[in-house]
Structure 1
Amino acid sequence: MQVAAHASLSGNDNVPEPAKAVDLSRYVGKWYEFARYENLFEKNCEGVTADYEKRDDGLIKVVNTCHEGSVSGPTRAIEGKAKVVPNSRDAKLKVSFFGPFYVGKYWVLDHADDYSWSIVGEPTGIFLWILTRDAKPSEALATELITRATKLGYDASMIRRTKH
């Protein structure tokens, strides 16, 4: 997901380090945003997806897409690139959407062993994304993911479910 420098106040004042190593060959592909902390660059976005693809130069192509206003609204997409932070077990990435500078931090804080879901944040606690491989996860999984995010220190009252 895209990470911006400015947003609202933190929903987690003590973001933990990522819990597990990430196998990027399993992490790439299409993710559906199940939920997020609201942010300016996703304002009025529904049907949000993130597509990750390994590039020949070792970077990762990132394409974030949303539908403005509703799941059937106009499509808006942005393409960027990410690079792995050394010695992070591939769980921390730096992301760039605007030029050569890698300013956004993208931490895979937790993920399913089968890569069916992922909880992504960054060190300030301002941003949170909960991603799933299915556009509409079961209510049991949805509850589990919000509980997991809460155990990572995130304020559940700030979590906004994305419509698909």
Structure 2
Amino acid sequence: MTALRLLLGLCAGLLLTACAHTGDGPLDPKTAGNVDLKRYQGTWYEMARLPMFFQRDCAQSEAHYTLTPDGDVAVLNKCRTLQGEWQQATGTATLQVPGKTDKLWVVFDNWVSRVLPIKGDYWVLYVDSEYQTALVGNPDRKYLWILSRKPVLPALERESLLAKARQQGYDTTRLIWRVSDRDIARKP
């Protein structure tokens, strides 16, 4: 039942983000510019997110990105519930514009995306010079993720990322923060 709920949630989330946005309009958030996808690949821990339907049961989330030989990015998203159960979804991220590595389309591998050409915006708004923290959002500012290479984010870095998100017009008062390990039920 949990897997079915995750699948349905992912489908609903993709439907919500299905409206393709391809412009570089004056009201669009500013993106990071050139993102070195080789350095960007690996594990990212979600520190906070703007509410997303398909992540409603996630207490902790992480994304694993792997650059493929054809230049796409393989995506493995994992979600840990408050009950300590892990759920996952796989997909592929592709460049929205050839050569522009800060705006990607993400398509998850599920039955909906096989039937409908649904893809979600994944815009890298900021990544620090060491590729240790990042802000990712979408152009209509409904979705935002604060990411870190470590599962704990120091207060100073947290405040800096929050300020960057607010400067871009994202509502940080609605962020859902990562739940600590001690607050997740332990499996016997």
55-64 or 125-134: bigger deviation = 55-64
Q: Which runs of 5+ in 2 are unaligned?
A: 1-9, 18-26, 181-188
1:62 deviation in Å? 0.2
Identity, % of aligned pairs? Answer: 31
TM-score (norm 2): 0.76
Q: Which residue of 1 aligns with 2:97?
A: 86
Q: What per-residue deviation string (whole Å, max 9, x for no partner) do you get for residues 126-146 of structure 1?
A: 111110111001111111111
- Point out 4+ residue stretches in structure 1 off by more than 6 angstroms: none
Give the length in aligned residue pairs: 155
- 1:40 and 2:34 matched: no
- With a CA cutoff of 8 Å and minimum separation of 6, indicate the structure with the bigger relative contact order: 1
Contact 1:82–1:102 (CA<8 Å) still a contact in 2?
Answer: no
Residues 125 and 94 of structure 1: CA distance in aligned 2, closer, same or farther (over 3 Å):
same
**Which aligned pairs between 1:1-164 and structure 2 lie closer than 5 A?**
4-6=14-16, 14-69=27-82, 73-87=84-98, 89-97=100-108, 98=110, 99=113, 101=117, 103-164=119-180
Q: Which structure has the larger Rg?
A: 2
- Larger relative helix fraction: 2
2 CA distance for matches of 1:116 and 1:159? 20
Q: What per-residue deviation string (whole Å, max 9, x for no partner) do you get for residues 90-131 of structure 1?
A: 000001003453511100011101111110011121111110
Computed over aligned residues only, the root mean square deviation of the Cα atoms, in angstroms, reads: 1.9
Q: Which runs of 5+ in 1 are unaligned?
A: 8-13
